[in-house]
Each structure stands twice: as C-alpha cells, then as structure tokens.
Structure 1
Amino acid sequence: MALIHWNPLQELNTIQRQLNHIFDEDMLSTTILDRTATKVPAAELQETDDAVYLKLEIPGVEGKDIDLQVTDKAVYISGERKSQTKTEEKGKIKSEFHYGKFQRVIPLPARIQNTNVKADYKDGILHLTLPKAEEEKNKVVKINLDSVG
C-alpha cells in the first residue's frame, strides 16, 4: 500500500483558481450578480429616551437623487446610483460596483415626531435625528408584581 501526500490547501487553491476563471471570462453580465435583489443601504439605529438616531450608508449617490419620507412609524428611502462609466469601442470594463435603483423601509422602534426630523448628508452617510413623540417620551408602564409567582 502506497502513502499519498494530501495537501488540503492545494484543493482550496484549485477552487480559488476556478472561481477566478469564472470572473475572468465575460460572464459578469450573465452571472447571478445581475439578477440579485437590489442593494439596499446599510443602516445603524440607536434609540435614546428622547430620540431615535438612524445612520444610512449611501455612497456614490448625490442628495438630489435620494427620496426620503418619514412617517411616525417608519423611514422610507429610495434612490438611484447612476453609472458614469464610459468605454472605448474595443475596451472592456468589468465592475463590481452596483448601479441602479434601491429602496428600503426601516420600521422605527418608537413613534416619532416626523415634522421635526433633522437630516445631515455628507460623504455618503445620511444621519437622521428622529425626535420621539411626546407620548412616547413620557410613556411609563406599570408592572403588577402581585400576580407574578
């Protein structure tokens, strides 16, 4: 019986080469990259006693291309990343950037005063300050411990 030297890293290298080969060919336009769902902005939500703070990452989009609507229960955002790519007749461009329309609805953890929202958009980051409605700020819930056994 002969011993065979097995190198698991070599198998990983083979898989990596095969994946690179897929993307080296002109398959980007026909792969699942074009058929995936629209890319939505990443969000970060923070709640304090007085307000809800929402931070959205929207790089490569001008403020005029963003539609932002705020209700007392949710934030609706939509827009479009526009491609500025120019190609020559024989030149080829491969891109991992995502262009096109996006939209996202972010439910809020508390009712807010949507008439007093403050927004700041700089360097592709949208900061929203969403002050809580007065009834949410003063909301106190009484817990009856007599029935807890």
Structure 2
Amino acid sequence: MSVPMKREQRGLMPDLFDLLELPLAGFRPTGQQIRFEDYTDDGRYVLRAEVPGIDPERDVEITVANGILTIHAERRQEEKRGHRTEFRYGSFTRSIPLPPNADENDVKASYDNGILEVKVRLAEEKERAKRIPISMEKGSTEKGSTEQGTA
C-alpha cells in the first residue's frame, strides 16, 4: 500500500525547501534541479527522481548523512560540431530531508528507464511521550505532611 508523503507547513513562513522548488529555481546558475516524488510503501520511504540520459554506475552518486539524502548526477555532453541542442547538460544535485524514523543504514537504489528509485527502511514509530510512574520510598513524607524539628 502506498501512502503519499505530506509535508506540513511550519507557521506563517514557507519551508526553505519549498522556496527552492519555485518554478524559477531551475534557472539558478549553480545547476539544474532534479525533479522527484516521494511516498511511503510497505515500511519504506520511497523517493523516485527523474534523471534520464545518464549512466547510473558512472554518473550518479547517492549519499545519506544526518537525516539528509543527497543525489548528485552529471549528464555529459558529447562533442559534436555544427549542431544545436536544447538538452540540459552538467551537474544536478538535490538534497532531501528524510523522515525522522528513517534507517540510514538500510538504503537501496535502482535505476530503470530514466527513473532513479531510492528506498529507505523506516523504523517503527516511537511513542512521543511516556508517563513515568513514581514510587514512594521508605521514610518519605506523604502528600501534605511536614516534619518539624524541636530546638
């Protein structure tokens, strides 16, 4: 079963990652934007990225550190004379925050028909808060009583 991931807005200010996804962000001089979709499926976080026209063994690097998944790809232009191209060449990098319960030691990646798919195992959700019982020790005073010494 697939469950789409929904990123919640935090307050009145948009999330920094949302700002980077604006339509004109792809025209940044620092490189092109990798388009992706993400969802959870069968206890795994799944990220699918469009990276057509590359050799995944040679031109793609995937790293995970400190809760961030980073995909770096490079599409190389073949040297041809007297031609016109509208293809995009160069380096492409995208960093995506992982869910808090993602297991960074269990990450698998595959590539098929221009789609890079990365799957990260999700650990069981932990309880947010656990109530701790308080035991009464011998010699402790009960609620409302006080000890008074004599001088």
Task: Give the number of aligned pairs.
Answer: 103
Question: Highest CA radius of gyration, 1 or 2?
Answer: 2
Q: Note the alpha carbon deviations across 1:1-59, whole angstroms, 9 max, x for none.
A: xxxxxxxxxxxxxxxxxxxxxxxxxxxxxxxx987441121110102572211101100
> Any gaps of 5 or more consecutive residues in structure 1?
1-32, 143-149
Q: TM-score if structure 2 supplies the norm length?
A: 0.59
Is the aligned partner of 1:69 residue 2:63? yes
Contact 2:68 2:95 in 1 (8 A): yes
The one-letter amino acid paired with 1:44 is E
The one-letter amino acid paired with 1:129 is K
Match of 1:97, SS state, is coil
Match of 1:77, SS state, is strand
Identity over aligned pairs, percent: 32
Q: With CA pairs under 8 Å and 6+ residues apart, which has the higher RCO, 1 or 2?
A: 1
Contact 1:80 1:99 in 2 (8 A): yes
Match of 1:60 among 41, 48, 53: 53
CA deviation after TM superposition for structure 1 residue 129, in Å: 1.1
Match of 2:48, SS state, is strand
Match of 1:125 among 95, 115, 130: 115
The one-letter amino acid paired with 1:76 is T
Match of 2:40 among 39, 47, 51: 47
User: Going by fraction, where is strand more abundant, 1 or 2?
Assistant: 2
Q: Distance in 1 between matches of 2:71 and 2:93?
A: 6
Q: Note the alpha carbon deviations across 1:102-139, whole angstroms, 9 max, x for none.
A: 11111123331121111111121111111013xxx132
CA deviation after TM superposition for structure 1 residue 79, in Å: 2.1
Q: Distance in 2 between matches of 1:95 and 1:61?
A: 16
Give the alignment's Cα RMSD to 1 decimal. Answer: 2.4
Q: Distance in 2 between matches of 1:100 and 1:51?
A: 31
Q: TM-score if structure 1 supplies the norm length?
A: 0.60
